[in-house]
Amino acid sequence: MGTIVRLLVTALAVWVAVQVVGGLEFTGSWLGLLGIALILAIVNGFARPLVTFFSIPLVVLTLGLFLLVINALMFGLTIWISGELDLGLTSTGFGATFIGALIVTAVSWAGELVLGTE
């Protein structure tokens, strides 16, 4: 049950990011948002640990700030995959992707905190 709630919270977080960030666009249904949330979960489960491991020197050098860049890269990868699967999420550039990733992270964290799924 917790996995379904997390996917719903992530889908809501992506929707909020699209509403707030001018460079993000979504042209699809709620089912598409759930697909994007699933893609983001898979990317964060498999690709993020590898990228984080190989960038440990940069993370240490920047006192952890490079993790924000990794977060944006994973969101960018999700946007690219969703574009390939025709789910309707697009971005105009790295800036929009970076801000969108921050918003998705904050809303997901707050939603999981409120719902107690952490």
Q: What is the pLDDT of residues 53-71, one digit of tens each?
A: 999 999 999 999 999 999 9
Predicted TM-score of the model (pTM): 0.92
pLDDT, residue 117, reads 60
Q: Compute the distance between CA of residue 57 and CA of residue 55 in angstroms, rounded to an integer.
A: 6
Q: Are 43 and 97 in contact (CB under 8 A)?
A: no
In tens, the pLDDT along 2-53 reads 888 899 999 999 999 999 999 999 998 899 999 999 999 999 999 999 999 9
Two structure tokens written together for 43: 């990317």
Q: Compute the distance between CA of residue 88 and CA of residue 82 in angstroms, rounded to an integer.
A: 7
CA 65 from centroid of its chain's CA atoms: 17
